[in-house]
Amino acid sequence: MTERTERAAGVAEHAVQERPLRLGTRRSKLAMAQSGQIARAVRELTGRAVELVEITTYGDTSREHLAQIGGTGVFVTALRDALLAGEVDFAVHSLKDLPTTQPEELALAAVPPREDPRDALVARDGLTLDRLPRDARVGTGSPRRMAQLNAYARSHGLQIETVPIRGNVDTRIGYVRSGELDAVVLAAAGLSRIGRIDEVTDFLSVDFVLPAPGQGALAIECPASNADLVAALAELDDPYTRAAVTAERALLAALEAGCSAPVGALADLSGDGRVVNEMRLRGVVGTTDGATLVQLSTTGPVPTSHGDAVALGRELASEMLAKGAAGLMGERVL
């Protein structure tokens, strides 16, 4: 190789290193807000520019309800395809949308600190769940929420009608503002990320509505072959959040349920104020009418490895299956 060729190769290599990192994201307002947050963190971490690459997923274009289109992977497949094709360098997902099986070619490089995992009610006239009028219509796109809301209503003497809806946050809240619905239920974390948390009229306690596994957490994914990027993104990882969501997702996987099945799970971490040393994992499966729920919990030491977190999730799933959980889920992942 001549000196000129070597110099040109060096310039080209430097240009590749310094080009902006391409972050793949869905086009929704929420996805763009989440991705923008991560982009800023990666810029500060690496000193490199980050550009957002908007990608449309099947879940964004389909107007069917999630239970009808299968749910699993509908919001992430196009992003993963772009990663594998080299069209983007990394991608940001809502962790609850990720299938529980991780492709070998892709690394789940970071799970940043989790935001509020609870569901939240946005209702007309500032109403809370317990103060909704008789026959109030409550919109949600989630069979999990329907199951638990209807179960709560049955046990507390409320008469509400859960209505399946699709659409982004603006569309869903618009149903309330127009008077078509009395209330809608959304993830608190999403409302916070787009600056609309003040519109919440009631935060739903996890004691009666468990969130989706991984709700409130983000997942940063990149090609496993890019070791330098995997290592850089890993600086954004929160080990406690990762342990919690790993246990929740292991429960979901062991139940053989997809992300649109009526399954809720939440891992709580606790300690003595100085050291976090205990994890409580709660899980629920129910029929969408709320007539039947299987809800159990287990407690153990904070997992110190991926395998320990997975074992905790599988243990609780096994107990739930023994109580009849398998017959309550509307879909299976083959």
**Would you state the structure tokens that stand for residue 46, as one six-digit string?**
């690496």
Cα–Cα distance measured from residue 257 to residue 49, given in angstroms and rounded to the nearest whole number: 39
The alpha carbons of the chain give a radius of gyration, in whole angstroms, of: 21
Backbone angles phi, psi at 158, to 5 degrees: -90, 150
- Max CA pair span of the chain: 84
Cα–Cα distance measured from residue 25 to residue 333, given in angstroms and rounded to the nearest whole number: 25
**Would you state the structure tokens that stand for residue 124, as one six-digit string?**
């007309």
Determine contact, residues 23/39, Cβ cutoff 8 Å. yes
DSSP at 112: P
* Residues tagged active-site: 97
Cα–Cα distance measured from residue 119 to residue 116, given in angstroms and rounded to the nearest whole number: 9
Indicate the helix (H) or strand (E) that contains 36: helix 29-46
Cα–Cα distance measured from residue 268 to residue 234, given in angstroms and rounded to the nearest whole number: 23
Cα–Cα distance measured from residue 330 to residue 260, given in angstroms and rounded to the nearest whole number: 8
DSSP at 87: S
DSSP at 100: S
**Would you state the structure tokens that stand for residue 55, as one six-digit string?**
């990608």
Instruction: Provide the residue count of the chain.
Output: 334
